Amino acid sequence: MMLKTENKQAAKSPRIKSVWKQAGFVDESIPLGIDVKAEIRRMAKEKNAVIMAHYYVDGEIQDLADFVGDSLALAQQAAKTDADIIVMCGVHFMGETNKILCPDKKVLVPDLNATCSLAESCKADEFEKFVGEHPDYTVISYVNTTAATKAFTDVVVTSGNARQIVESFPQDEKIIFAPDQNLGGYINSITGRNMLLWNGACHVHERFSLEKILDLKKEHPNAKILVHPECKGPVVRVADKVGSTAALLKFAIADESQELIVATESGILHEMQKRCPEKTFIPAPPNDSTCACNECNYMKLITIEKLYNCLKYEWPEVKVDSEIAQKAIRPINRMLEISAKLKL
């Protein structure tokens, strides 16, 4: 027999349709005539929800968010929020990191299909086997991994702190770095390490064309080239600045150059242009000019409509198995502690 309180609860929580569960998001049209953005802000206030967004989601979502940042800043922000609900407008691993850091809060991601090619490239069972074959290695994983993969990790890094965290280990430390071989190769090259690299890559950053970037540089000889370290080595080597999305943004604001060629997902151009309206930002072209390959199709799954519905129904919710969360929290906290010590 159902208890009275359970009855009340059932009446309170809206029914999540099975087709939505199958789809991974609330597939419902927005009521006609409403101001969606105002409604999103109203619901966020009413529910004490914080809306966080990564720089790669659509500009209009970034503008609606309470906080926009790179992966490191988003994790740092989640760790200190006093909101009851975190709506993570970004990809699933970002929601998982928030949930691990805030197990008592409701963490929502507007579309559960928003995964990440790097996270997908490093399945936990294969990674566990690999780590098991190298028992004397310290395991460093990029934040772009699933919680289950983080559970086999000693310390997590983002592109904003990878160099410093690797350098916090003795020069002769044996290190596994996963899953991004481009970021790992870049860190090896600047630190003189020889970390063992997992062979994952980001399908967006891999596709930037060195030739086309160099052609652009000929057309705009004064332009500075900004590159995310997930790009391939030859692209990274022509950069004036290599860094996380936040580091590239900071450089764009501070540098005197008026033209900047940007080799990372094009969503970052929104904040760059907003902060520096007088400068010209040129998105670096991918190899195939017929596709929008400098857009992350996972990040772009997050739309205003899905954000509205996600707040309305408080679903889809990110869940992390408690045993996995207990293991994954350690390397995440270790990253946050080292970053705090180094003031990153």
Binding positions for ligand 13P, rule: CB under 6 A: 70-71, 144, 158-160, 202, 230, 244-245
* Calpha distance 57→60 (Å, rounded): 8
Q: What is the dihedral of CA 166, 206, 76, 343, to 10 degrees?
A: 40
CB of 93 to ligand SF4, least distance (A): 8
CB of 116 to ligand SF4, least distance (A): 3
Q: Choose, by CB under 6 A, the member of 50, 65, 148, 299 that binds ligand SF4.
A: 299
Helix (H, G, I), strand (E, B) or coil at 63: helix
Q: Choose, by CB under 6 A, the member of 55, 177, 251, 298 that binds ligand SF4.
A: 298
Could you say which DSSP state residue 207 is in? G
Choice between 144 and 188, CB closer to ligand SF4: 144
Choice between 57 and 131, CB closer to ligand SF4: 57
Token pair for 278:
């007088």
Burial class from Cβ neighbours inside 10 Å (0-12, 13-18, 19+) for residue 87 reads: buried
* Calpha distance 89→114 (Å, rounded): 10
Token pair for 45:
């206030």
Q: Which stretch binds ligand SF4 (CB under 6 A): 75-83, 111-119, 286-294, 314-322?
A: 111-119
Choice between 157 and 204, CB closer to ligand SF4: 204
181's CB contacts (< 8 A; 6+ apart) are 197, 198, 199, 200, 201
* Residue 298: contacted member of ligand SF4, ligand 13P, none (CB under 5 to 8 Å, by partner type): ligand SF4
Site for ligand SF4 in 247-276 (CB under 6 A): 265
The answer to whether the beta carbons of residues 152 and 128 sit under 8 Å apart is: yes
Choice between 208 and 251, CB closer to ligand SF4: 208
Q: Per rule CB under 6 A, is residue 111 in the interface with ligand SF4?
A: no
Choice between 144 and 339, CB closer to ligand SF4: 144
Give helix 268-275 / helix 245-254 axis angle, nearest 10°. 20
Choice between 98 and 309, CB closer to ligand 13P: 98
The residue among 78, 102, 87 whose CA lies nearest residue 44 is 87
* Residue 121: contacted member of ligand 13P, ligand SF4, none (CB under 5 to 8 Å, by partner type): none
The residue among 187, 167, 190, 191 whose CA lies nearest residue 178 is 187
Maximum distance among all Cα pairs of the chain, rounded to whole angstroms: 75
CB of 200 to ligand SF4, least distance (A): 9
* Calpha distance 56→269 (Å, rounded): 9
* Residue 244: contacted member of ligand 13P, ligand SF4, none (CB under 5 to 8 Å, by partner type): ligand 13P
The residue among 19, 31, 21 whose CA lies nearest residue 312 is 31
Q: Choose, by CB under 6 A, the member of 51, 68, 91, 131 that binds ligand SF4.
A: 91
Q: Choose, by CB under 6 A, the member of 50, 246, 296, 302 that binds ligand SF4.
A: 296
CB of 47 to ligand SF4, least distance (A): 27
Could you say which DSSP state residue 335 is in? H
* Residue 71: contacted member of ligand SF4, ligand 13P, none (CB under 5 to 8 Å, by partner type): ligand 13P
> Identity (one letter) of the amino acid at 113?
N
- Chain residues in the site for ligand SF4 (CB under 6 A): 91, 116-118, 144, 202-204, 230, 265, 296, 298-299
